[in-house]
């Protein structure tokens, strides 16, 4: 199911209890898989999943459909919380295992194929970006750095980091839509 057809985060933000269960059903596989791959023990993963869903529910009001899908919103929160948890444990975050192509992000086969297709389209779109945009997006989305941390890491002014991030995300969205439409016409 496409996130835009039946947005659950808006209903979670409004306090709809049924939406909370739907959020767990829809994104539980994604959050659990990422947590299990990043953390060494099942108990740590369970604790992390609980903390992550608590943050998702508390942050649901910040979700903006114009900036990305609910899946991306949830995955971003998940990645950041997992990286924070690893840092607290004194371990260096290893995000490559989280970012494996074809990773089954859900128990639903159709949904995992859809996510895999989206991931492939996003990877192609990322490669088409300017190097500065690629670097900023990699540091922000894949490594979980804040805008300030990216600015410090790259030596770019904070405003430039924010501009590159926004332009890069907009370009990826645009390229993914074009590729998605062209793949749909080939089928």
Residue-wise DSSP of 108-164: -HHHHHHHHHHHHHHHHHHHTS-HHHHHHHIIIIIS---HHHHHHHH---HHHHHHH
| Residues 90, 112 share a domain | no
57 & 127 share domain: no
Query: Half-sphere exposure (CA, 13 Å, Cβ side) for 176?
Result: 19
Report the candidate in 157, 154, 159, 155 with the shortest Cα–Cα distance to residue 135: 154
24 close to 78: Cβ distance less than 8 angstroms: no
Q: What whole-number distance in Å separates Cα of residue 108 and Cα of residue 112?
A: 6
What pLDDT band is residue 78 in, cutting at 50, 70 and 90?
very high
Same domain for 13 and 89?
Answer: yes
CA distance 21 to 18: 5
Residue 160 has pLDDT above 90, yes or no: yes
One domain for residues 67 and 128: no
Torsion sign, CA atoms 25, 20, 99, 111: positive
Q: What is the CATH number of the domain that holds 133?
A: 1.10.10.10
- Give the domain extent around 129: 108-187
CA distance 77 to 56: 7
**How many structural domains are present in the chain?**
2
pLDDT score recorded for residue 25: 87
pTM of the model: 0.49
76 with 159, same domain: the answer is no
Q: 75 and 10, same structural domain?
A: yes
Same structural domain, 168 and 136: yes
| Claim to verify: residue 89 and residue 119 sit in the same structural domain | no
Q: Are residues 177 and 90 in the same domain?
A: no
**What single DSSP character describes residue 40?**
S
Q: What is the pLDDT of residues 40-56, one digit of tens each?
A: 888 888 889 999 999 99
What per-residue confidence (pLDDT) applies to 180?
60
pLDDT of residue 99: 46
Distance CA 30, CA 139 (A): 21
Q: Reply yes or no on whether the pLDDT at 85 is more than 80.
A: yes
9: pLDDT strictly greater than 70: yes
My answer on whether 50 and 87 are in the same domain is yes
Decide if 18 contacts 63 (C-beta within 8 A).
Answer: no
For range 109-131, the mean pLDDT? 66
């Amino acid at each position: 199911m496409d996130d835009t057809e039946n947005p659950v985060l808006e209903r979670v933000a409004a306090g709809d209890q049924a939406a909370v269960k739907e959020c767990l059903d829809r994104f539980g596989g994604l959050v659990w898989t990422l947590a299990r791959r990043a953390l060494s023990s099942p108990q740590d993963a369970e604790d992390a999943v609980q903390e992550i869903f608590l943050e998702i529910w508390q942050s649901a009001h910040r979700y903006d459909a114009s900036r990305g899908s609910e899946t991306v919103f949830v995955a971003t929160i998940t990645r950041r919380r997992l990286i924070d948890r690893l840092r607290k444990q004194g371990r260096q975050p290893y995000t490559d295992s989280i970012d494996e192509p074809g990773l089954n992000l859900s128990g639903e086969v159709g949904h995992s194929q859809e996510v895999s297709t989206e991931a492939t389209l996003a990877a192609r779109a990322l490669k088409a970006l300017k190097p500065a945009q690629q670097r900023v997006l990699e540091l922000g989305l894949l490594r979980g750095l804040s805008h300030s941390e990216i600015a410090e890491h790259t030596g770019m002014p904070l405003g430039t980091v924010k501009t590159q991030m926004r332009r890069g995300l907009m370009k990826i969205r645009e390229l993914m839509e074009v590729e998605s439409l062209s793949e749909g016409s080939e089928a």
